[in-house]
Structure formats: structure tokens, C-alpha cells
Chains A and B, each alone.
Chain A
Amino acid sequence: MSNPITASTTETAPVRWLLIGLSLAFLALFLVLPLAEVFAEGFKDGLGVWKTAVTSPDALASIRLTLLIAAISVPANLVFGIAASWATAKFTFPGKSLLITLIDLPFSVSPVVSGMIFVLLFGANSALGPLLREHDIKIIFAVPGIVLATTFITFPFVARELIPLMEEQGKDDEEAAISLGANGWQTFWHVTLPNIRWGLLYGVLLCNARAMGEFGAVSVVSGHIRGETNTMPPHVEILYNEYDFVGAFAVASLLAGLALVTLVAKTLLEWRFDLHHKGAH
């Protein structure tokens, strides 16, 4: 397609420029400008100050914790996402549509509520509270609680990405593999996984970005213990509330940088995914 614009969909030049101009202005005002501001504020007093801010013990602790949380919740959701989409796309079973609806639950519930759920379940005043205290298990205001909340919030990303993809691919390839003598694991490893790899990477990427950036639910369950239970987003908030703007924006610029890297990687993946997808037929 050398010329995708056909006569029936062509607007006059002024209209075209107006529409393009409007979208660009909107984009600049609401996306580019704030993002640029984050970096501008973070680096305002020079690279040295920025470096001091992000390497302060508390900042480093928050970065480490964020990476730890992502390192646990992303693989967990990777496994769950593959299992759920495999189950829903390749088999029929009672309760299938309920499962698909439930997968979306974390998307439709406010993150604060998600955090509250875990406090209610495992907090000191919950039914489980005394039992946990007895065995000296800390979940709320500790790392396990943050992992639980983050995993809950990022639950749908991989599954949502894979279910439509797997449904579209059908199960011919898998049936071909088992008819040729492959067992379940061989079929998954040699046939299903290669078919979904780009979609899977894409889902993992989004899942990771959210796992590192989650604020609401983590904020509720973490208890904001500096240097211990603060991931990067709550750390930014604390610094900001203490009028340490440079420190807040310096850490925020790291998060924003993560977003940019995710976007670039996502674009590359989409391009690769499209290529792969089109090549199939």
C-alpha cells in the first residue's frame, strides 16, 4: 500500500492540520511536558545532586525492594498467566467464563481497595491476625504483604495478553504435536511457547512496569517504613511531603526512565510481533 489515503477518507488540508495539531498539542501538554518536568526537576541542581539523592541509603533500599518485589511477582504472574490462558484457550471446562471475568478483577478494583483487602485478611485485627502473631509471621507492613498486593495488582497483564492470542491460534498445532507423539511438556515447550513468545514478552514487560510502579495498594500494606518497606513510589511521596523536591524528582526520574525504556521495548516488540504474525500466513 503506497498510498493508504483514499479519496473517500481524505479531509481538506486545513481540517487535517487542525486535527493533527490538536492531537499533538494535547500530547505535549498532558504527556510530554509533565514527563520533561520530572527530569528537569530531578537534574535541576546538577548530576552530582541527583546522584547523591538516588544513592542515599533510603533511596537505595527502596530501589532494592522494588527490584525484589518485581523479581518475585512478575515470574509468579508469568507462570499463572500462561497456565490460565492455556487452560481457557485450549480447553472447555465449567466455570471458564467466570475465571476469565475474575482475571480482570484487579483492573476494575481500585488499588487502594486491593491493599485494604490484604490488610483485612492478614492485618493485626483480622481473623488470621492472632495466628500469624503466634507464629511470628509478619505479612502486613512487611515484604510479604507488598509482594501479595503487587502480585494481585499485576495479575491480569500476562493472561490478558495471551488469552486472545491463544484463542486465535486454536489448538491445531498442539493436536498435530500430540498426534506426532509429543507429550504434554514437549508440546508446550516446542510448539505452544514459541507460538506465544512475543505476546508473552509483551505481557511480561507491561506486568513489570506496573509491578515497579504500583503505588496505591503497596502504600496501604507497606506501612511506609523508610529503608524497610518503602518501594520507589512511596519513597517518592515521602520525600515530596518532606519538601525534598530534588530528592523526590530524582527518584521519580528513575521511575520515569523505566517507563520510557518499557515504551521503547514495547514498540520494538510490537514491531517484531507484527512481523512474526504476518509471516504466519
Chain B
Amino acid sequence: MIELNAITKQFGEYPALHGIDLSINKGEFIALLGPSGSGKTTLLRIIAGLEVQDGGTVALEGEDVSRRKVADRGVGFVFQQYALFKHMNVAENIGFGLSVRPRSQRPNRAAIRARAEELLGLVQLEGLGNRYPAQLSGGQRQRVALARALAIEPRLLLLDEPFGALDAKVRKDLRRWLRELHGRLGITSIFVTHDQEEALELADRVVVMNQGRIEQVGTPEEIYMHPATPFVSQFVGETNLLPAANGAPDGALAVYVRPHEIEIVKSGGEALRVGNVFRKGGVWRIEGHLAADQRLVEIDADASSPPPASGETILIRPKHLRTFAQTGAEQ
């Protein structure tokens, strides 16, 4: 469906993307995940044609669209700040893409309105066609923006931090709803996020980016359970960095362990002085410092037994060792 080949982009002196290769299958829901400045939004905008790459090619369904204008790529784009047209009502916003078509391809007024109503039904905003964007909540505006992008029947849907401007509760609802919608429409979609939870929950595959490079591409399960690089391990999910101890392979610099992968043992572990202890959902979150080098370690312990007290010293041992050699690959 989409083939990106050696995409590079530079903003002045600052290299934004260093040779991105990526291929995406038809119907997939892809997350571009990374911290700010990782190049994820730039990559999305290059796919859309809102930005032009310095090198490399973008191919959609086998045809090279690298030099083609946005309008001719058949992509729907949803902006973080909605970018709804304030002076048009909701139905006019949704119908905009149809109403600017050349006369020969333009549906008549009634047909555009009917299509808008149909899409309003799809995004569950029936009856709000005559409202103005200012009269809608953030979540509703984002749905209108989505309906507007879908109105032109794009072959590809691109979403730039689609939930970034929403509060936590609305975000969660909208996320679930978007997942369902994707399941129903099956339209190939790529969304950009810096929120790993969002990426893992929504995407079929996650593309983790850092400093203009792809660190790893994989299913949420692969990304979380088998991070390919130290960066992914630390960026996705919480990770403790323990000193490379006995048992770690040669050349390993450090051991990466998730909080729930550490067990408290009676003997044969590293000494940890307990600091803060608090409930985090269904587990105890224990924060403490290693006696050996004062390193901060976070542990999730079973909440069915009472937690250790603050100030106490306990022994801990990783249940699962994840190490990266200097080359950065998991071993």
C-alpha cells in the first residue's frame, strides 16, 4: 500500500529525517511513536505531501507520488488542532472537499448535504450539521475533522496527534471509538503520537522513532516485550536500568527490566532501600535506591500482600533479563 524509500529531510542545518524506509500494508492501523523532535510529524506530512522530502520516494498503491501535490494523493489529513473552518457550519465543513471539486465532478448541493449527514451519522454527531465549530466540544470537533477528511473518500487516512488537544476522559473514549471505526471502514491509517499507551492500544503496528530514525517497527506486543534498542525499552513502558551484573552476556552495558519483572526475594538478590510506596492501580509501586550505587529502581509488587515499609531494606532480583550490547541489539 505505502512504500517509503530512503526518505530524508533537512530543516536548515537541522536534519529531521535520515533515510526512512517503511512499508505499510493495506488496511493497517499504524502508529508513529516518538518523543518531540523525533521526526514523526515530518514523516506524516511528507506522506501527505504537505512537506516535500529532500531525498527518497513515497509510493502509494505502487505509484510514485513523491512529486505529486497533496490534493492528487487521495489522502485525508486530520490536524491536532482540528483546523475546522470557523465560518462554516459543521455540514459545510464536512462537504468542503466535495464542494471545491471541478464542476464536472462536483455533486449537487443536496447530494453534498446528504453525504455530510451520512458522515455525521458515522461519527455519531447526527443533527449537529447546522452548528458552528465554536459551539462544539473538543471531542466533537475532532470527529467533525475526521468526517471532513473521510468525505473525500481518501485511500489513506493520516492523523497528526489526533487526541493531543483533548482531556484524558474524552481521549480515552475517542480512542476506543476510533479503533472501532477503523475496524469497520478498514481504511489504511497512520497516526502520530508521543503517547506510548495510545500507540500500543490502537495500532496494529507501531513505528518507534527517535532523532529522525526508525528504532523499531513491530506489533505492540513485540515493541513492549521485545524492544530492539535501549531507546525503545526506555521510551515504551517503564524500564529500570540495572548495572550489568553476573549472568548478563559479555559486552552488555546494562540490564533493562520492567517494574513488574522484578521480584522481591528472601536471599540472593541486590539490596534495595525502600523509599516511596504507593498504590498504582492493582499493584504496589515501590520506589527505592540500590544500596550498591544509589540508582533509582521502580518495582510493581503484588497488592495481595502488604508492601514493605519505607526505609526498610529488601532484596530484589530481575525475573527477566533484557540486555543490549554496544551495537544496540537485544540479546
Contact = CB atoms under 8 A, between A and B. Distances in A.
- B and A form one assembly: yes
Interface of A: 172-173, 175-183, 186, 190-191, 194-195, 279-281
Given A179-B76, A182-B71, A195-B87, A172 B81 contact: yes
Nearest to B71: A181
A172 B83 contact: yes
Interface in B55-81: 69-71, 75-77, 79, 81
B86 A180 contact: no
B110 to A, nearest CB: 20
B148 to A, nearest CB: 7
Contacts of A183: 71, 100
24 contacts: A172-B79, A175-B79, A175-B83, A176-B79, A176-B83, A176-B84, A176-B148, A177-B100, A178-B50, A178-B70, A179-B50, A179-B149, A180-B96, A180-B148, A180-B149, A180-B151, A181-B71, A181-B152, A182-B97, A190-B85, A194-B86, A195-B86, A279-B134, A280-B134
B97 A180 contact: yes
A67 B66 CA distance: 52
B208 interface: no
Interface in B127-178: 132, 134, 145, 148-149, 151-152
A244 B152 CA distance: 70
Given A176-B77, A179-B71, A179-B75, A186 B100 contact: yes
A279 B84 CA distance: 13
Contacts of A173: 83, 85
Interface of A is mostly: helix
Interface centre among B81, B96, B132, B148 (most CB of A within 10 A): B96
Contact of A194 (B77, B85, B96, B132): B85
Interface residues on B, range: 20 to 34
A173, A178, A179 — most chain B CB neighbours (10 Å)? A179
A180 B49 CA distance: 12
B101 interface: yes
Contacts of B48: 179
A194 B81 CA distance: 18
B99 to A, nearest CB: 8
B96 A182 contact: yes
Nearest to A279: B134
A181 B100 contact: yes
A273 to B, nearest CB: 13
Given A181-B71, A279-B134, A175 B50 contact: yes
Interface of B: 48, 50, 69-71, 75-77, 79, 81, 83-87, 96-97, 100-101, 132, 134, 145, 148-149, 151-152
Contacts of A176: 77, 79, 83-85, 145, 148
A89 to B, nearest CB: 16
Contacts of B148: 176, 180
Closest 5 CB pairs of A and B: A180-B97, A172-B83, A176-B83, A179-B77, A182-B100
A175 B132 CA distance: 20
Contacts of A179: 48, 50, 70-71, 75-77, 149
Given A178-B70, A180-B71, A186-B100, 14 more contacts: A172-B79, A175-B50, A175-B79, A175-B83, A176-B83, A178-B50, A179-B71, A179-B76, A180-B100, A180-B152, A181-B97, A182-B71, A279-B132, A279-B134
Nearest to A281: B134
A279 B86 contact: yes
Contact of B85 (A178, A191, A279): A191
B77 A175 contact: yes
Nearest to A194: B87
Given A172-B79, A175-B77, A175-B79, A181 B101 contact: yes
Contacts of B50: 175, 178-179
Nearest to B151: A180
A182 B69 CA distance: 11
A90 B95 CA distance: 25
B272 to A, nearest CB: 49
A91 to B, nearest CB: 13
Contact of A177 (B87, B96, B101, B145): B96
A54 to B, nearest CB: 41
Given A179-B48, A179-B70, A181-B101, A280 B81 contact: no
B48 to A, nearest CB: 6
A173 B148 CA distance: 13
A175 B149 CA distance: 12
Contacts of A172: 79, 81, 83
A280 B136 CA distance: 11
Contacts of B75: 179
A88 B50 CA distance: 18
A190 B81 CA distance: 19
Contacts of B87: 194-195
Contact of A178 (B71, B145, B149): B71
A280 B70 CA distance: 27
A180 B76 CA distance: 7
Contacts of A279: 86, 132, 134
B57 to A, nearest CB: 20
Contacts of A280: 86, 134
B165 to A, nearest CB: 11
Contacts of B83: 172-173, 175-176
Among B48, B81, B83, find the residue whose CB has the most chain A CB atoms closer than 10 A.
Answer: B83
Contacts of B151: 180
B104 to A, nearest CB: 14
A194 to B, nearest CB: 4
